[in-house]
Structure 1
Amino acid sequence: MDLPVMPPVTPMLAKAAAKIPNDPGASAWSHEPKWDGFRAIIFRDGDEVVIGSRGGKDLGRYFPELVEAAREELPDRVVVDGEIGVQAVFDGVRRLSWDALSIRIHPAKSRVDMLAEQTPAMFIGFDALATRDKDLTKEPFSVRREALLEAIPGAGRCRVSRVTTDADLAQNWFSEFEGAGLDGVVSKRLDGLYVPGKREMIKVKHKRSADCVVIGYRVHKSGTGLGSMLLGLYADGELRMVGGAGAFSDAKRIELQKLLEPMRLDPDNVAEGEPSRWKEKGSAQWIPIRPELVVEVGYDQMEGPRFRHTVQFVRWRPDRDPESCGYEQLEVPLTYDLFDVLEGQD
């Protein structure tokens, strides 16, 4: 492989902000939907294709259908930045599915090949780093965007994210496109260069809170303290698991285990639940407790009846009755079909 920009490349990153930028008198911004998938940079030099992850690993072994798509749909010599996503249908609407995407990372080639057929991925490009023999990283985004549209002109497995310079329209997208499984809005300066590893973009993500019942916990992998707190919500009188809260400090983990351990329903047994796809075997085991405590957590969005990602502990809610914590409190996004977001590319 001999390209003007060679792997590995750490992608340009974004810093969080409370609102979509629209500074009067400042250089213009380009806004686009925030695709919640696996960040990836595709390098193609003829038949050679590398799909670099944010950490520099080649994702091509897990997404062979995207390697083939790159050979069939992209120019012979190109480097494009974007996101890998997998679609699923929820209530008749196509959305990005984090669960379907997550299970694509599997060590067995036979399973990788099976999933490539059953849940094929797509690549959504939003920047171009090189075309032919030209390094575009020193060019403004306005130039890189035109190169991206030339590199990905079709509607195959490789697509292009839509953009706008209208901050009000971007704000509408922020609300509307969540129904397609998107995560917010990303903004770039039209005159900005591509700076690998630097937080030169702005991201505005969905943030919400919910009151949940603590139904159990997992012990930390070290064997000391609480690793994660398992949460539930009531639906039709039944308490259903909706996800977990984690990322506690060492002191907090020990404090929480001391709090919850006396509430165990059966001190001698643990329950088996859905295992974490990112942890070692055995992480499916958890310890049920009496459903008496209510906690407020911060979350970004739902996928079906569960939180899409691990949620953040905010505070205890001793004023809330556990039975009052139901799904009706959750903010339900508008339903928006994934391929309607990919405007003009069907």
Structure 2
Amino acid sequence: MKLPIMPPVAPMLAKSVPTIPAGASYEPKWDGFRSIIFRDGDDVEFGSRNEKPMTRYFPELVAAVKAELPQRCVLDGEIVVATDAGLDFDALQQRIHPAVSRVTMLSEKTPASFIAFDLLSLGDEDYTGRPFAERRAALEAALAGVNSPIHLTPTTTDVAEAQRWFVEFEGAGLDGVIAKPLTGTYQQDKRTMFKIKHVRTADCVLAGFRWHKGSTEAAPLVGSLLLGLYEQGRLQHVGVVGAFTALRRAELVQELAPLMLADGEDHPWQEWASAEAHQGQRLPGSVSRWNATKDLSFVPLRPERVLEVKYEHMEGSRFRHLAHFVRWRDDRTPGSCTYEQLEQPLTFALHDIVPGLGSDQAGLG
């Protein structure tokens, strides 16, 4: 394979914003596996968000790429599994399996599709330095007449149309709208696009768990999962997930067992019992400020697994309330789970709400 853009490539990313911005190109936000397709004749590779190849898991798409795409190209897009009821992310996750026989079976039972939405190279030309409007026009020309399961995502520059998509497309399993600056270049691993989603979600690192208060030696139950996000290379405690059924709590005991630390293994939060360790770092094992007798000890896990959670809003650097489990994200790497993905509310001074409140209060009292 010899292309102007060679694998691995870290996809360009999006930052959450609360409303649809004006003056951009808008497209639906697909709920699947982000993937960059590299094709050089009969050589085809599917890159992933974590830059690891996914080619072997989607043989039906490899065949489709050879049949439908230009001989030499690099495309950014999303792998999805579509059903009559909408997108099926659970079925998509099942496609990631080590057994060739199962991959083959699932490729026939739950075939995937590829939704193209950006062009990185075509022939010998590198398009990453060109504005999105130009990349989009070239993508449309390159994929003119393309057949299923390869598709071109719709776009619009009409904000009202994008708002309609945001409302109506949710019923099909899409989870929002992406806005791309028309003059923006393709910047790997940079959050230069914008995403508007229906709920606030975050991909977090699973770093440990606490036992449920009803757990016994004979019938152990997981109480809550401890969540972390990376900040300047350090894994910070950001909150917990804990709303599980009793059956699910029992299942989690077995599911998390392979992640438990072996003797001598280190953990990012192993120093939690030291009061000094809490200076400048958010750790999960400090004494509760509401109940000094409450046991906040936890079972540390190797921080290797990622889960998506839904949350209401942030309080400082933590989730304000209990987060809610959405799904495992085995397509994400722990190191990609940073605070940058979170929606940052606009700063608003108290004195702009109530005149004098919060402004120059030092001498009052």
Which of the five TM-score ranges fits, normalised by the shorter chain? 0.5 to 0.7
State the shift of 1:89 in Å. 3.2
Match of 1:111 in 2: 102
Equivalent pair of 2:46/2:53 in contact (CA under 8 Å): yes
Paired position in structure 2 for 1:78: 73
Which residue does the alignment assign to 2:266? none
Tell me, in whole angstroms, the C-alpha distance in 1 between the residues paired with 2:53 and 2:238: 37
1:52 to 47, 66, 88: 47
**1:68-101 deviation digits (Å, cap 9, x = unpaired):** 11111000001100000001233xxxx1111111
**Cα distance change of structure 1 residues 245 and 88 upon mapping to structure 2, 3 Å threshold:** farther
Counterpart for residue 6 of structure 2: 6
Note if contact 1:30-1:187 (Cα within 8 Å) is conserved in structure 2.
Answer: yes
Cα RMSD (Å): 3.4
Matched, 1:170 2:162: yes
2:321 is paired with a residue whose SS is: strand
Partner of 1:20: 20
CA shift in 2, pair 1:256/1:86, >3 Å: closer
- SS of equivalent to 1:61: helix
Q: For the residues of structure 1 that align with 2:44 and 2:183, how far apart are their CA atoms?
A: 29
Whole-Å Cα distance in 1 between the matches of residues 45 and 200 of structure 2?
Answer: 37
- In the TM superposition, residue 149 of structure 1 has moved relative to its aligned partner by 1.3
Alpha-carbon distance change, 73 to 198 in structure 1, aligned in 2, over 3 angstroms = same
Q: Residue type of the partner of 1:142?
A: A
CA distance in 2, matches of 1:314, 1:123: 37
Distance in 1 between residues matched to 2:88 and 2:17, nearest whole Å: 25
Q: 2:30 maps to which residue?
A: 35
Cα drift, residue 310 of structure 1: 3.8
Distance 1:64 1:251, change over 3 A: closer
Q: What TM-score does the superposition give when structure 2 sets the normalisation length? A: 0.60
One-letter code of the match for 2:74?
V
AA paired with 2:132?
A: F
Q: Are the aligned partners of 2:199 and 2:310 in contact in 1 as well (CA < 8 Å)?
A: no
Q: Does 1:315 align with 2:321?
A: yes
Distance 1:208 1:252 in 2: 15
% of aligned pairs identical?
48
Distance 2:58 2:65 in 1: 11
- The amino acid of 2:3's aligned partner reads L
2:123: which partner in 1? 132
| CA distance 1:275–1:69, shift in 2 (3 Å) | farther
Aligned residues: 245
Distance (Å, rounded) in 2 between the aligned partners of 1:110 and 1:37: 23
Residues 199-247 of structure 1 show CA distances to partners (whole Å, capped at 9, x for unaligned) of 11011111179xxxxxxxxxx875x5259xxxxxxxxxxxxxxxx9855
Indicate conservation of the 8 Å contact 1:41/1:80, yes or no: yes
Matched, 1:248 2:227: yes
State how 1:248-267 maps to structure 2 within 5 Å.
Answer: 248=227
- Cα–Cα, structure 1 residues 47 and 226, in superposed 2: closer, same or farther, change >3 Å? farther
1:87·1:100 contact (CA, 8 Å) conserved in 2? no
**Distance in structure 2 (CA, Å) of the matches to 1:256 and 1:70:** 40
Q: What does residue 101 of structure 1 align with?
A: 92
Shift of residue 173, structure 1, vs aligned partner: 0.4
SS in structure 1 opposite 2:227? coil
SS in 2 for 1:248: strand
Contact 2:36–2:76 (CA under 8 A) maintained in structure 1: yes
**Unmatched segments (≥5 aa) in structure 2:** 213-222, 229-235, 261-306, 312-318, 323-365
Equivalent residue for 1:188, pick from 161, 177, 180: 180
Residues 140-195 of structure 1: CA distance to partner in whole angstroms, max 9, x if unpaired?
Answer: 11111112112222231110100000111101100100111101000111111111
Alpha-carbon distance in 2 for matches of 1:248, 1:226: 15
CA distance in 2 between counterparts of 1:226 and 1:149 reads 54
| TM-score where L is the length of structure 1 | 0.63
SS in 1 for 2:119: strand
Instruction: Identify the match of residue 62 of structure 1 among 54, 57, 60.
Output: 57
Contact 2:133-2:182 at 8 Å conserved across structures:
yes
1:315 partner amino acid: H
Amino acid at match of 1:225: R
Residues 35 and 78, structure 2, Cα contact 8 Å, conserved in 1 = yes
1:63–1:280 Cα change, 3 Å: farther
Helix, strand or coil: the match of 1:111?
Answer: helix
* 1:206 corresponds to: 198
Name the CA distance, whole Å, in 1 between partners of 2:161 and 2:107: 35
Contact 1:245 1:311 in 2 (8 A): no
